[in-house]
């Protein structure tokens, strides 16, 4: 059980690293939000699931599960607000052919 948990946590961390990489590699604000809102959601979800497996069926696990739900709901809202704010301040997305 705890091995499975550790594997999940490691996988989650891998996704977090990919998120960080995406922040650096992707060309503009909008595409970076993709990296943050997706890879990060799965990263956190995997880490929390790993923690639940370590913890077993306890109240703490239930709380972690609730945190998971909150993150899953809040992350897309955050991504949406960020991109909307960017658009309203006149930021246009990068397109192929725009140059670096």
Q: How far is the CB of 90 from another protein (least distance, A)?
A: 5
x/- track of binding to another protein for residues 24-43 (CB under 8 A):
-xxxx-xx-xxx-xxx-xx-
Size of the site for another protein (CB under 8 A): 39
56 contacts another protein (rule: CB under 8 A): no
Residues numbered 67 to 86 that lie near another protein (CB under 8 A) are 72-73, 75-77, 79-80, 83-84
- In the chain the first and final C-alpha atoms are separated, in Å, by 47
Other C-beta atoms closer than 10 Å to the C-beta of 36 total: 18
Instruction: Report whether 40 contacts 15 (CB < 8 A).
Output: yes
Under rule CB under 8 A, residue 94 binds another protein: yes
CB of 35 to another protein, least distance (A): 6
Q: Cα separation of 39 and 45, whole Å? A: 10
Q: Exposure string (b/e) for 18-28, b if CB count within 10 Å is 16 or more?
A: bbeebeeebee
Neighbours of 75 (CB within 10 A): 17
By the criterion CB under 8 A, which residues form the site for another protein?
A: 15, 18, 21-22, 25-28, 30-31, 33-35, 37-39, 41-42, 59, 62-63, 66, 72-73, 75-77, 79-80, 83-84, 87-88, 90, 92-96
């Amino acid at each position: 059980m705890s091995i499975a948990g550790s594997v999940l946590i490691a996988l989650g961390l891998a996704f977090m690293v990919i998120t960080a990489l995406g922040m650096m590699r992707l060309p503009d604000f909008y595409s970076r939000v993709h990296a943050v809102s997706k890879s990060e959601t799965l990263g956190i979800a995997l880490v929390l699931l790993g923690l639940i497996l370590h913890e077993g069926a306890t109240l703490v696990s239930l709380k972690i599960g609730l945190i998971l739900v909150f993150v899953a709901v809040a992350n897309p809202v955050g991504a949406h607000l960020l991109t909307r704010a960017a658009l309203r301040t006149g930021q246009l997305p990068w397109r192929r052919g725009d140059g670096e």
